[in-house]
Amino acid sequence: MADRYLSFTGTAPGRFLTRRLGLPRPAPLRRWSAERPALDGELLHLTAGTSRLDLAPVLARTGLPTDEAAGQPAAVVLDATGVRTVEDLDEVHAALHPVVRSVAESGRIVVLGAPLDTADHHQAAAQQALEGFTRSLGKETGGGRTVNLVRLTDASAAESTLRFLLSPKSAYVSGQVIAVGDGQESPAPEDADRPLTGRTALVTGAARGIGEAVAAALARDGAEVVVLDVPQAEEDARRVAERIGGSVLLLDMTAADAGARIAEALPGGLDVLVHNAGITRDRRLVNMAKDRWSSVLDVNLGSVLRTTDALLEAGALRRDGRIVATASIAGIAGNAGQTNYGASKAGVTGFVRALAPRALAGHGVTVNAVAPGFIETKMTAAVPLFIREAGRRMNSLAQGGLPVDVAETAAWFAHPGSGAVNGQVVRVCGQSLLGA
Ligand SMILES: NC(=O)c1ccc[n+]([C@@H]2O[C@H](COP(=O)([O-])OP(=O)(O)OC[C@H]3O[C@@H](n4cnc5c(N)ncnc54)[C@H](O)[C@@H]3O)[C@@H](O)[C@H]2O)c1
């Protein structure tokens, strides 16, 4: 379902009317393409407080030229890891106040903060303040610009994250706080353009929608991709597999032996497992029959837990593997008519956060989740018009995301350099006004 409002606001009468009437003015987002893989323009590196991060070499590898006096920077990185007091926060203002107006359209602002696990309550206050700052700035910058906060102690462990956030791949990711651990550095991939070369990925529910886009992004990055979907979706699954040069596995993920069948189909093991299959069966709780409740809980959560457990126990996930689950902002903010869906998707975040440290320690596997907001797919095309319009506009970028936006986030989690990104739930929602 095309977003006609977005097309209209790109025309001269559309620009005039939206300005006069104070209507949302979505900017066309600059997304990744092979022809234009990087942002156009310079990166401005600023600091607030006294930082100990060795950031310059990492920023140099983003491919963006760094310039201390960039007139219209495409990206700004503010290193605020050294902010320890309320007074230090003045330096955040002093650094960004003069430049925020000049950041290019679809530009990126990334604030770097320190981990919050400090006993110093002054430092904790100042560091937590960066979250409110980041999220507020994200809501006011407009023009397709994004603002995110990364908590880190080791710049090199955060390289894949910074590269993602400072690229067109993160077009619909804004207002997020991402914590990157340290000491989990992976060797740089041999082929930087195809970092998943030699790795096998399986994407559930990949015959269409977001799953199809995830499968395509992982294949672009060099992975051998298995397109998994239910037998009824065979035709679509084969079409996707053919397009991306992958293979097909027809399987209902709710089958009790789904994990065993995946392990059997992939005797060489699996490097990337993306739990994307999901369904909705909306009704208010008063009208919700038991089967609507249990089918959603089983597809979206029960099967995710069962197959993950089975695959980890069978040793089917290779070391340095990646599990990416799919949550939703409905699981964070709640949604009328979706008690079943909201419960299942909140459950996914609980699963990710609890399993992540154990999976890393025991199997060398990271576990993260994408939490999509309003994404233009068949699922959201079926939503009634007014609710659909509200979903599209009620975010800082004033438009719906595309499946590729979720796919790029999954590809960043799957990247061999993302070993220090673990237990994160990252919303791909254009900073939806719903939820935290
Ligand atoms: N579209 C959005 O705005 C949005 C927002 C938040 C979260 N999500 C989540 O993203 C994921 C993908 O959403 P989508 O919009 O692409 O949905 P979609 O309905 O277009 O595609 C889902 C795919 O999953 C498959 N599937 C369903 N049950 C399955 C099962 N038991 N076993 C194997 N495959 C199964 C379907 O056949 C289909 O191909 C879902 O988990 C969904 O909950 C989507």
Supply the DSSP string of 83-141, one letter for each residue.
--STTTHHHHHHHHTTTGGGSPTT-EEEEEE--S--S-HHHHHHHHHHHHHHHHHHHHH
Specify the ligand 1 atom closest to the Cα of 379: 15
Kindly report, residue by residue over 92-126, the tens digit of the pLDDT: 999 999 999 999 999 999 999 999 998 999 999 99
Instruction: Decide: residue 265, CB within 10 A, 0-12 exposed, 13-18 middle, 19+ buried.
Output: middle
Q: Tell me, what's the pLDDT at 49?
A: 93
Longest dimension (CA), the chain: 62
Q: Tell me, what's the pLDDT at 191?
A: 83
Q: Which parts of the chain sit beneath pLDDT 70?
A: 1, 16-17, 20-21, 68-70, 183-187, 435-436
Note if 172 is an active site residue: no
Catalytic site residue from 133, 172, 341, 413: 341
Token representation of residue 227: 């397109």
Of all protein residues, whose CA lies closest to atom 12 belonging to ligand 1?
A: 210
Q: Which domains does the chain have, with CATH numbers?
A: 25-179 (3.40.50.720), 200-428 (3.40.50.720)
Of all protein residues, whose CA lies closest to atom 3 belonging to ligand 1?
A: 375
Query: In this structure, what are the phi and psi dihedrals at residue 140, rounded to the nearest 5 degrees?
Result: -115, -10
Provide the residue type at 154 as one letter: D
Q: Among 172, 203, 208, 210, which is best to mutate for testing ligand 1, by the most ligand atoms less than 8 A from CB?
A: 210
Q: Tell me, what's the pLDDT at 7?
A: 78
CA 424, 66, 37, 373 torsion-angle sign? positive
Q: Tell me, what's the pLDDT at 261?
A: 98
Q: Among 352, 374, 377, which is best to mutate for testing ligand 1, by the most ligand atoms less than 8 A from CB?
A: 377
- Residue ranges lining ligand 1, Cβ < 6 Å: 204-205, 207-211, 229-230, 233, 252-254, 276-279, 299, 326, 328, 372, 374-375, 377-380
Strand partners, 226: 202, 247
CA 122 distance to own-chain centroid: 31
Of the candidates 371, 374, 355, 373, which has an alpha carbon nearest to the alpha carbon of residue 363?
A: 355
Please tell me the distance between residue 224's alpha carbon and the centre of ligand 1 in angstroms: 21
Q: Tell me, what's the pLDDT at 186?
A: 63
Of all protein residues, whose CA lies closest to atom 23 belonging to ligand 1?
A: 205
Q: Hey, is 418 helix, strand or coil? A: helix
Q: Tell me, what's the pLDDT at 242?
A: 98
CA 145 distance to own-chain centroid: 16
Specify the ligand 1 atom closest to the Cα of 372: 6
Kindly report, residue by residue over 166-190, the tens digit of the pLDDT: 999 999 999 999 999 986 556 677 7
Of all protein residues, whose CA lies closest to atom 7 belonging to ligand 1?
A: 328
Torsion angle of the four alpha carbons 17, 383, 177, 24, in this order, in degrees rounded to the nearest 10? 10
